[in-house]
């Protein structure tokens, strides 16, 4: 848990960045102490509740949720929405995908037992993204966000840009699918956060999303305020594999029955606390001489900006990788106890998690059947997103990988590839960029 083993040393210029960001040392110290107390309580609650802590709602009841349920969904940053698509339809999609990967010379991982597929335009994927219930749900999720007042800076989101956002208009971001086999261990998805790393501190726009935290007022932090997110630079160093769109939530639709321990998603289910801890963590270190026997005790931690390190951020290929969170780099999250598997899902259910949520995938799949999902995030209409959808549309019509993904021969010649005729309805056609 000491400094030497929690992260790699970053360039010295990041000491200057830390110094620039600290406005009131005492306020930050008090905020840190309060945060650690809240985290301790939150993790204990999570341990007690287990998967039940993840909110569960029926798709048919979305318009009639109580204020308490809304509040719970926003606090947890994750939600299971049941019966979005008829189970028979979802099962049929799984069967068609299984046949597709057997019939066509597809790319997937691992090479000797393919389970995660570099495929974007199969008929089931195209149809699922165009399904009216899926699009309605995406619009509902987008509206959990709100358009706040942009910070007073010419470097951040303008009022005009915010006015151009249509949260109720869903857009389609084409992604892949997996059919995970039981008994196979996956070690490639430990706790992490997508959509930018060091940029959360270094980019002025992105950083503005966390101003309240950096000002020592983390309780005021609003993860659902769009101001700052739309112009945020999530890849200052040309980092590969970054989405070019702003996703309010990441998500997938289940094509099988999958329970905890069967290779499912895990999340840290307290969004404001995890954001606050992630952002403040680089400014505090474990004391060399402990005051008490418990290393997590706030008395054993001190304000320290003398090093350039940002725990969970690593140099790689001329840029920076992360945040990759571990028990060593972010000990107060108590990840081995707090990372919580989502509840049992059945075919046609959907899971979504906020773009800032710490998440991972279970290493073990102890079930007897394949665990299959298609990845479908929630994406609102913004100028940047719409520009990407226009480019993605051309990829769809040509049957080649979308712009954000590695180039390849594509799927146009494969048997069972989705076509424009599979995108039915005006809302679906707009979401795919086919009606603009």
Helix (H) or strand (E) holding 315: strand 314-316
**CA 24 to each of CA 21, 35, 275, 282: distance values in angstroms, whole numbers, following the listed order:** 9, 16, 19, 15
Burial (Cβ within 10 Å: 0-12, 13-18, ≥19) of residue 119 = buried
Q: How confident is the model at residue 15 (pLDDT cuts 50, 70, 90)?
A: very high
pLDDT recorded at residue 250: 98
User: Residue 341 corresponds to which tokens in the numbers above?
Assistant: 């598997």
pLDDT recorded at residue 231: 86
**CA 221 to each of CA 22, 134, 143, 194, 197: distance values in angstroms, whole numbers, following the listed order:** 17, 29, 18, 19, 19
pLDDT recorded at residue 238: 75
pLDDT recorded at residue 8: 64
Q: How confident is the model at residue 148 (pLDDT cuts 50, 70, 90)?
A: confident
Determine the average pLDDT of the residues in 205-220: 96
pLDDT recorded at residue 151: 59
Minimal CA–CA distance to 175: which of 403, 422, 434?
403
Residues contacting residue 197 through CB under 8 Å, at least 6 positions apart: 239, 312, 313, 320, 321, 322, 323
pLDDT at 346 over 70: yes
Cα–Cα dist 221/207, whole Å: 12
From 117-126, 222-231, 265-274, the region with the lowest mean pLDDT: 222-231
Q: How confident is the model at residue 6 (pLDDT cuts 50, 70, 90)?
A: very low
Q: Residue 419, SS3?
A: coil
Q: Residue 218, SS3?
A: helix
Helix (H) or strand (E) holding 116: strand 116-117
Determine the average pLDDT of the residues in 232-244: 82
Could you give the percent of the chain with pLDDT greater than 90? Answer: 84
pLDDT recorded at residue 333: 98
Cα–Cα dist 265/300, whole Å: 33
CA dihedral for 32, 38, 43, 46, sign (positive or negative): negative
pLDDT recorded at residue 3: 39
Backbone angles phi and psi of 345, in degrees to 5: -115, 150
pLDDT recorded at residue 92: 98
pLDDT recorded at residue 235: 87
Cα–Cα dist 250/357, whole Å: 9
pLDDT at 392 over 80: yes
User: Residue 59 corresponds to which tokens in the numbers above?
Assistant: 């798709």
pLDDT recorded at residue 256: 98
Determine the average pLDDT of the residues in 207-234: 94
User: What residues pair up with 372 in beta bridges, in sequence order?
Assistant: 179
Q: Give the mean pLDDT of the chain.
A: 93
Q: State pLDDT tens for residues 127-146.
A: 999 999 999 999 999 999 99
Q: State pLDDT tens for residues 61-112.
A: 999 999 999 999 999 999 999 999 999 999 999 999 999 999 999 999 888 8
Determine the average pLDDT of the residues in 350-367: 96
- E-strand stretches of 200-256: 249-254
Cα–Cα dist 90/102, whole Å: 19
pLDDT recorded at residue 436: 73
Q: How confident is the model at residue 433 (pLDDT cuts 50, 70, 90)?
A: very high
pLDDT at 115 over 60: yes
| C-beta of residue 346 within 8 angstroms of C-beta of residue 82 | yes
Could you give the percent of the chain with pLDDT greater than 70? Answer: 95
């Amino acid at each position: 848990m000491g400094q030497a083993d929690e992260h790699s040393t970053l360039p010295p210029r990041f000491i200057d960045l830390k110094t620039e960001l600290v406005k009131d040392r005492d306020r930050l110290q008090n905020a840190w102490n309060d945060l650690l107390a809240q985290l301790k309580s939150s993790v204990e609650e999570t341990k007690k509740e287990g998967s039940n802590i993840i909110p569960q709602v029926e798709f048919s009841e979305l318009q009639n949720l109580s204020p308490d349920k809304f509040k719970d969904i926003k606090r947890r940053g994750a939600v299971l929405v049941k019966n979005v698509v008829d189970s028979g339809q979802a099962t049929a999609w799984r069967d068609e995908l299984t046949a597709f990967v057997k019939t066509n010379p597809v790319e997937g991982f691992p090479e000797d037992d393919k389970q995660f597929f570099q495929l974007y335009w199969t008929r089931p994927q195209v149809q699922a993204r165009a399904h009216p219930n899926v699009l309605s749900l995406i619009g509902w999720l987008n509206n959990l966000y709100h358009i706040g007042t942009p910070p007073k800076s010419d470097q951040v989101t303008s009022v005009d840009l915010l006015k151009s956002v249509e949260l109720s208009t869903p857009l389609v971001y084409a992604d892949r699918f997996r059919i995970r086999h039981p008994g196979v261990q996956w070690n490639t998805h430990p706790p992490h956060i997508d959509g930018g790393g060091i940029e959360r501190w270094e980019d002025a726009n992105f950083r503005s999303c966390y101003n309240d935290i950096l000002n020592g007022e983390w309780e005021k932090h609003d993860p659902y305020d769009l101001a700052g997110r739309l112009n945020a630079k999530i890849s200052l160093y040309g980092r590969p594999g970054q989405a070019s769109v702003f996703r309010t939530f990441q998500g997938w639709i289940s094509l099988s029955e999958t329970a905890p321990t069967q290779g499912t998603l895990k999340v840290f289910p307290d969004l404001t606390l995890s954001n606050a801890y992630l952002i403040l963590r680089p400014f505090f270190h474990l004391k060399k001489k402990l005051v008490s026997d418990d290393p997590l005790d706030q008395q054993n931690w001190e304000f320290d900006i003398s090093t350039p390190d940002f725990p969970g951020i690593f140099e790689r290929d001329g840029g920076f990788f992360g945040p990759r969170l571990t028990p060593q780099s972010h000990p107060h999250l108590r990840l081995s106890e707090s990372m919580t598997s989502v509840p049992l899902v059945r075919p046609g259910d959907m899971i979504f998690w906020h773009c800032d949520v710490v998440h991972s995938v279970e290493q073990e799949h102890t079930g007897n059947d394949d665990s299959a999902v298609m990845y479908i995030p929630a994406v609102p209409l913004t100028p940047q997103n719409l520009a990407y959808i226009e480019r993605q549309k051309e990829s769809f019509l040509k049957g080649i990988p979308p712009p954000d993904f590695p180039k390849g021969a594509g799927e146009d010649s494969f048997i069972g590839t989705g076509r424009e005729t599979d995108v039915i309805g005006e809302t679906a056609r707009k979401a795919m960029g086919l009606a603009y």
